[in-house]
Chains A and B, each alone.
Chain A
Amino acid sequence: MKNICEYTAHEIHEKYISKELKVVDVVKAFFNKIKTDDEKIKAYITLCEEEALKDAELIQAKIDNGEEIGPLAGIPIAIKDNMCTKGVKTTCASKMLENFIPPYDATVITRLKEAGAIIVGKTNMDEFAMGGSTEHSAFFKTHNPINLNKVPGGSSGGSAAAVAGDLAPISLGSDTGGSIRQPAAFCGIVGLKPTYGLISRYGLVAFASSFDQIGPFAKDIEDTANLLNVIAGYDEMDSTSAKLEKIDYTKSLINDVKGLKIGVPKEFMGDGVNDEVKAAVKNAVEKFKALGAEVSECSLPATDYALPTYYIVACAEASSNLARFDGIRYGYRTSNYESLDDIYKNSRSEGFGEEVKRRIILGTYVLSSGYYDAYYKKAQRVRTLVKEGYEKVFENYDLILTPTAPSVAFDVGSKVNDPLEMYMADLMTVSINLAGVPAISIPCGKDKEGMPIGLQLISKHFNESTLLQAAYTFEKNMEV
């Protein structure tokens, strides 16, 4: 029999309804598991045990009163530490925000609380979400629960490791260039980057505002759909939030891909992709064909230009967004100053880590006089070409299928001193953020060392339903 912490959220929900499990016991089971296992995995920065146990009593009282509860009521959830939680430290894994206690909840947090979800804690990440391995946290590195010598991916590595390590059944991450999908692939779980504008960014500490998007991590597609149902939807507090009719994503839990047209872009299956990853993805293609999907090769010609374009635009936006950290109103302030300029410069220089400073410098460079046209403006034009490439493919296909990452999880410490090589880990994911389309990573195999391999499915704007249906069908028919 499965241990409580191995259950999916929907299994826990069913056991609440059948009175086999009590909310308090489930919450306690997760905190016990965290106490024994998180010393090694190091997924969490902050735990909210006291508050979680209080919330558990409240939900249990509702169940005992015979009130109807939603699928997330009493379900423990882990939150990436760049989403504001009122009264609970939100550090972005940075010395800059080490002691920051937000005076408000992010919209996603408000919605989770209304749905009765129980926040277990805040998870580790690359500082300000800048990185692909969760090694750039100012506090400590997170390890991959499948093999502790490997990275969990990043930047949402803590949230992915929490779910993969059974330290929470579901969690939230944020994805600017692959920060949900790549760690999901590295940890062998499901991770969804929704369409830009589907989830409110109010209360998400900004990295690159035109790419950032919050999304779910889960053990299966049913949990992903339930979590998406709660967090998706218009919010007047985010001016880029899309005003669309509410969709019930659980309606996509249909085991059928017959007639679905899937394109496999040749640019994503080239030399840069590890052989074992390629083999697992080809195997997935055969599975989709066997299930009745029409799979054929397609082309996204601007793919080679997506990675440099992404780093130019994302760093430019980051350098502007991070200008707000001045040591005056909140965040770290230096004790070493004689002038106002000293306060700004020393607070920022002492408060930001190496990778954050590197990106601020690159971003400032591409925005500075003399380089603005050659880099920033040019990149915005290339971004248009990347978007048009996707639009063209979606004229003939329902979905695009690629590997999520060019390799499996790499060794801790193996890339941390080579920024450009670390950026290459985002090769398969960044063009999706440039185009703003939704994409999901689902497990599709393991390499010979037992490390998980991720499959990425991409769809048109606001077409999460097709993504979920295809992913659900794959999950139901493929033994991974």
Chain B
Amino acid sequence: MAISSEEVKHIAALSMLNLSEEEINKYTNNLQEIVEFANKINELNTDGVGESTVATNAFNVFRKDEPRNSLDRELLLSNAPTSNGEAYSLPSMRN
């Protein structure tokens, strides 16, 4: 099954990525090659086999809903590209 550049453009939009024409061509070829390789798993019969999402016997973990200190606001905001000292700030714009 061939993967089209239109399909890669759609996937890029879902991934919130802007790709150049050159990148679209490259990723279309890469994806084609990788998906052909991945198709190998369809050789295996998995009827009646369950799905594993984790490796070990993990289970739901609960804790008491107690208030705790959160991270320091000033430190957190210092990593933001822009903030007003109290909150994250964004340029005003119309979408």
Choose the segment among A9-17, A111-119, A430-438 that binds chain B (4+ C-beta atoms closer than 8 Å): A430-438
Structural contact, A387 and B52, CB atoms closer than 8 A: yes
Give bound CA distance, A366 to B38, whole Å.
Answer: 10
Taking a contact as CB atoms closer than 8 A, the residue among A348, A360, A381 that contacts B50 in the complex is A381
In chain A, residues 362-381, which have Cβ atoms closer than 8 Å to a Cβ of chain B?
362, 364-366, 368, 374-375, 377-381
**What residues of chain B lie closer than 8 Å to A249, measured between beta carbons?**
none
* Binary contact track B5-47/A, C-beta < 8 Å → 1, others 0: 0001001101111110001000100110111011111111010
A382 contacts B by Cβ under 8 Å: yes
Check if B79 sits within 8 Å of A305, measured CB to CB.
no
Mark contacts of A205-244 with chain B using CB atoms, 8 A cut-off: 1 yes-contact digit, 0 otherwise: 0000011000000000000000000000000100110100
Identify the interface centre among B14, B44, B81: most chain A CB within 10 Å of its CB: B81
Which chain A residue lies CB-closest to B48? A381
Whether A240 and B15, one on each chain, are in contact in the complex, defined by CB atoms closer than 8 angstroms, is no
Q: Pick the contact of B37 from A99, A242, A308, A380 — CB < 8 Å?
A: A308
Q: How far, in whole Å, are A312 and B39 apart by their CA atoms in the complex?
A: 10
CB of B4, distance to nearest CB on chain A (Å): 12
List CB contacts (< 8 Å) of A308-345 with chain B: 308-309, 311-312, 319, 323, 326-333, 337-341, 343-345
Q: Contact at B56–A345, with CB atoms within 8 Å?
A: no
Bound complex: CA A461 to CA B54 (Å): 13
Q: Would A329 and B79 be within 8 Å (CB), given that A210-B55, A384-B51 are in contact?
A: yes
Q: Which residues in A have their C-beta under 8 angstroms from that of B15? A: 319, 348, 360-361, 364
Do A361 and B79 touch across chains, with their CB atoms under 8 A apart?
no
- In the assembled complex, the CB of A27 is this many whole angstroms from the nearest CB of chain B, namely 27
> What's the nearest-Cβ distance from chain A to residue B63, in Å?
7
Chain A hits for B43, CB < 8 A? 305
Give the chain A neighbours of B14 by CB distance below 8 A. 364, 368
Whether B94 contacts A339 by the Cβ 8 Å rule is yes
CB neighbours of B44 from chain A (8 A): 302, 305, 382, 385
Docked-complex contact B53 and A380, CB < 8 angstroms: yes
| A385 and B37 alpha carbons, distance in the complex (Å) | 19
Asked whether any CB of chain A lies closer than 8 Å to the CB of B65, the reply is no
- For the complex, give the distance between the alpha carbons of A358 and B17 in Å: 11
In the assembled complex, the Cα of A337 lies from the Cα of B95 at a distance in Å of 11
A292 on interface, CB distance cutoff 8 Å: no
A328-B80 contact given A103-B72, A305-B44, CB 8 Å threshold: yes
The answer to whether B41 and A382 touch across the interface, beta carbons within 8 angstroms, is yes
B23 close to A357 (CB less than 8 A):
yes
Would B17 and A338 count as touching, CB distance under 8 A? no
Complex Cα distance A340/B51, Å? 38
B contact residues around A304 at 8 Å (CB): 40
Is there an interface contact between A361 and B12, defined as CB atoms closer than 8 Å? Answer: yes
- Which of B11, B72, B75, B88 makes the CB contact (< 8 A) with A329? B88
Q: B52-71: which have CB < 8 Å to A?
A: 52-56, 58, 61, 63, 71
How far does the alpha carbon of A374 sit from the alpha carbon of B53 in the complex, in Å?
16
Contact B34 A328 (CB under 8 A): no
Which of these, B35, B49, B53, B91, contacts A385 with CB under 8 Å?
B49
Contact B19 A196 (CB under 8 A): no
Q: Indicate with 1 or 0, residue by residue over A377-395, a CB within 8 angstroms of chain B CB atoms.
A: 1111111110100000000
Are A312 and B16 in contact, CB atoms less than 8 angstroms apart? no
Of A339, A374, A420, which is within 8 A of B34 by CB?
A: A420
Q: Mark A272-312, 1 if CB is under 8 A from B, else 0.
A: 00000000000000000000000000000010110011011
27 examples of A-B residue contacts, CB within 8 angstroms: A104-B71, A196-B54, A196-B55, A210-B53, A239-B58, A242-B56, A305-B40, A305-B41, A308-B40, A326-B16, A332-B81, A333-B82, A338-B93, A340-B90, A346-B18, A357-B19, A361-B15, A361-B31, A378-B42, A380-B52, A381-B49, A384-B46, A384-B49, A384-B51, A387-B52, A435-B55, A436-B55
- Chain A residues at the B interface, C-beta cutoff of 8 Å: 99-101, 103-104, 195-197, 210-211, 236, 239-240, 242, 302, 304-305, 308-309, 311-312, 319, 323, 326-333, 337-341, 343-346, 348-349, 352, 357-358, 360-362, 364-366, 368, 374-375, 377-385, 387, 419-420, 423, 433-437, 461
User: Besides the contacts A239-B58, A341-B95, what 14 more A-B pairs have beta carbons closer than 8 Å?
Assistant: A211-B55, A304-B40, A312-B41, A323-B16, A326-B16, A328-B88, A329-B80, A345-B17, A348-B15, A360-B15, A365-B35, A381-B51, A382-B46, A384-B49
